[in-house]
Chains A and B, each alone.
Chain A
Amino acid sequence: MDKMPKWADVILIPLISLILAAILSTLVILAIGENPVEAVNLMVTGALGSTYGWGYTLYYATNFMFTGLAVAVAFHARLFNIGGEGQAMLGGLGVAMVCLYVPWPHWSIALLAAMAAAMLFGAAWAAIPAYLQAKRGSHIVITTIMFNFIAAALLNYMLVIVMRPAGSQDPATARFPEAVHLPTLHEMLAPIGINFSKAAPANISLIVALLACVVVWALIWRTRLGYEIRAYGHSETGAVYAGISPVRITIVAMLISGALAGLMAINNVMGEAERLVLNSTEGAGFIGIAVALMGRSHPFGVFLAAILFGFLYQGGAELALWTSIPRELIVVIQALVILFTGALDNMVRMPLEKLFLALRKEAN
Chain B
Amino acid sequence: MTVPAIELKGISKAFGPVQANKDISISVAPGTIHGIIGENGAGKSTLMSILYGFYKADKGEIWINGKKTDIPDSQAAIAAGIGMVFQHFKLVENFTVLENIVLGAEDGGLLAPSLAKARKELKDLEQEYELFVDPDKRIDEIGVGMQQRVEILKALYRKAEILILDEPTGVLTPAEADQLFRILDRLRAEGKTIILITHKLREIMEATDTVSVMRRGQMTATVKTAETNPEELAELMVGRKVLLRVDKVPAKPGKPILEIENLRVTDSSGVERVKGIDLTVRAGEIVGIAGVAGNGQSELLEVLGGMRPGSGTIRMNGVPLALSGPGSDGQARRAQGIAHVPEDRQREGLIMDFHAWENVAFGYHRDPAYQRGIFMDNAALRADTERKIEKFDVRPPNGWLSAKNFSGGNQQKIVVAREIERNPDLLLVGQPTRGVDIGAIEFIHKQIVALRDQGKAILLVSVELEEIFSLSDRIAVMFDGHIMGERLPHETDEKELGLLMAGVAGEAA
Contact = CB atoms under 8 A, between A and B. Distances in A.
Given A1-B17, A3-B16, A240 B307 contact: yes
Contacts of B305: 241
9 contacts: A3-B16, A224-B366, A227-B376, A230-B351, A231-B354, A234-B351, A238-B350, A240-B307, A243-B334
A234 to B, nearest CB: 5
Interface in A234-291: 234-235, 237-238, 240-245
B334 to A, nearest CB: 7
A243 B371 contact: no
Interface in A203-239: 218, 222-224, 227-228, 230-231, 234-235, 237-238
A298 to B, nearest CB: 14
B395 to A, nearest CB: 14
A357 to B, nearest CB: 7
Contacts of B332: 243
A353 interface: yes
Contact of B331 (A3, A227, A243, A357): A243
Given A243-B334, A244-B331, 15 more contacts: A2-B402, A3-B17, A222-B378, A223-B374, A223-B375, A223-B376, A227-B358, A227-B365, A230-B354, A240-B348, A241-B342, A241-B349, A243-B331, A243-B333, A357-B16
A238 B349 contact: yes
B252 to A, nearest CB: 31
B contact face: mostly helix, strand, loop, or mixed = loop
B16 A241 contact: no
B334 A222 contact: no
Interface in B400-444: 402, 404-405
Contacts of B362: 231, 238, 242
B4 to A, nearest CB: 34
Contact of B405 (A1, A237, A244): A1
A238 B347 contact: yes
Contacts of B352: 234-235
A311 B376 CA distance: 37
Contacts of B247: none
A192 to B, nearest CB: 33
B13 to A, nearest CB: 14
B306 A243 contact: yes
Nearest to A236: B347
A361 B334 CA distance: 44
A289 B48 CA distance: 43
Interface string B327-343: 00111111000001010
Interface in A323-360: 353, 357, 360
Nearest to B363: A242
A242 to B, nearest CB: 4
Nearest to B366: A224
Contacts of B231: none
B351 A231 contact: yes
Interface string B352-366: 111000100111011
A353 B305 CA distance: 39
A163 B305 CA distance: 54
B344 interface: yes
Contacts of B340: 241
Nearest to A1: B17
Nearest to B343: A241
Contact of B354 (A222, A234, A244): A234
Given A218-B375, A222-B376, A357-B17, A243 B353 contact: no
A242 B330 contact: yes
A224 B351 contact: no
Interface in B371-407: 371, 374-376, 378, 402, 404-405
B354 to A, nearest CB: 7
Contact of A353 (B16, B344, B354, B375): B16
Interface string A288-324: 0000000000000000000000000000000000000
A360 B363 CA distance: 35
**Residue in A2, A241, A245, A357 with the greatest tally of chain B CB atoms within 10 Å:** A241
A357 B16 CA distance: 8
A218 B402 CA distance: 21
Contacts of B16: 3, 353, 357
B363 A241 contact: yes
Contacts of B402: 2
Nearest to A361: B17
Nearest to A231: B351
Contacts of A241: 305, 307, 330, 340, 342, 348-349, 363
B366 to A, nearest CB: 6
Contacts of A230: 351, 354
A353 B371 CA distance: 38
A6 to B, nearest CB: 10
A353 B16 CA distance: 9
Contacts of B353: 234
Contacts of A360: 17
A353 B14 CA distance: 14
Given A237-B347, A238-B348, A2 B375 contact: no
Contacts of A242: 330-331, 362-363, 365
